[in-house]
Amino acid sequence: MKDILTAPFLTQMRETTANMYRLGWDERNGGNISLLLTEEEIGSYLDLTDVKRRIPTGFTAKELDGKYFLVTGTGKYFKNVQADPANNLGLIRITQNGASAELLWGWEDGGKFTSELPAHLMSHRARLAVDPENRVVMHCHPTYTLAMNYVHPLDEREMTRTLWQMCTECIVVFPDGVGVLPWMLCGTNEIGEATAEKMKEYRLVIWGMHGIYGAGKTMDEAFGLIETVEKAAQIYMLTAHLPRLNTIRDDQLRTLAEAFGVAYRKDFLNE
Ligand code: 2HA
Ligand code: ZN
């Protein structure tokens, strides 16, 4: 067996959590990531018959049975993942119609998966139905995105259009826009179901006054989506209280989207 600490997926997870921590998106135990892995990817690092523990998930999702996920742990700090992956991360296999997670590696101190596992697994299921190559679901609390939630209508069309106006690249990076949920209790199956419902349509979902979810084929895609929204939200927060002299007009946004050939939410722009 090869040393799992040398596995590319583990390196990626350590680097991503470290980056997110340093960007200020994941204070204390804030944020969580799940990465879908294949048996081929992990088979040379782990004995897949050696189940350390079985942990109930509290929900069902039969489409996910037999799938493997590398997941951040509940109560764990992104700040600590880089130096101590074996206590802060876990690699699980989903079984029993989604009701059980078999721990194959990690959480060596007795820990378990993020409290947001329902939102993650339900979002994986929703994204996989739209894009069979989706692998990553990422949640965090980016500062300016959160700030914007307090001073901007929590409306998908309005929020997306404002973000698109803040940086020329936005409509090209997230032409599908940003889904928005009102404030809801986190860590529940209800917010998981609501997030997954939005994920059928969007790769980005804002949790009102809490944070954001991003999904993608790779860690870079999910990270890049959130990073671009956060940059746009930063520009918004730096300018919202000042007289607006210039903007990217709707016809210019349309020109951009068409020049880059992206399928954008035409209904999110004004005539
Ligand atoms: O895991 O971010 O939403 C901590 C959180 C909960
Ligand atoms: Zn959170």
231 C-alpha to ligand 2 centroid (Å): 19
* Mutational test site, ligand 1, from 28, 139, 207, max ligand atoms within 8 Å of CB: 139
Mean pLDDT of 172-193: 98
**In the chain, where does DSSP find H-type helix?**
8-22, 39-42, 78-81, 85-88, 117-130, 143-151, 156-166, 170-173, 189-199, 219-239, 250-259
pLDDT digits (tens, 9 = 90+) for 124-149: 999 999 999 999 999 999 999 999 99
Beta bridge partners of 36: 69
Buried/exposed code over 130-161 (b: 16+ C-beta within 10 A; e: otherwise): eeeebbbbbbbbbebbbebbeebebebbebbb
Helices (H) and strands (E) in the chain, counts: 11, 9
211 C-alpha to ligand 2 centroid (Å): 6
Which residues approach ligand 1 with their CB closer than 6 A? 29-32, 114-116, 139, 186
Q: Which atom of ligand 1 is nearest to the CA of 26?
A: 2
Q: What is the pTM of this model?
A: 0.98
pLDDT digits (tens, 9 = 90+) for 231-266: 999 999 999 999 999 999 999 999 999 999 999 999
Catalytic residue positions, numbered:
116
Q: Which atom of ligand 1 is nearest to the CA of 115?
A: 1
State the Cα–Cα distance between residues 136 and 213, nearest whole angstrom: 10
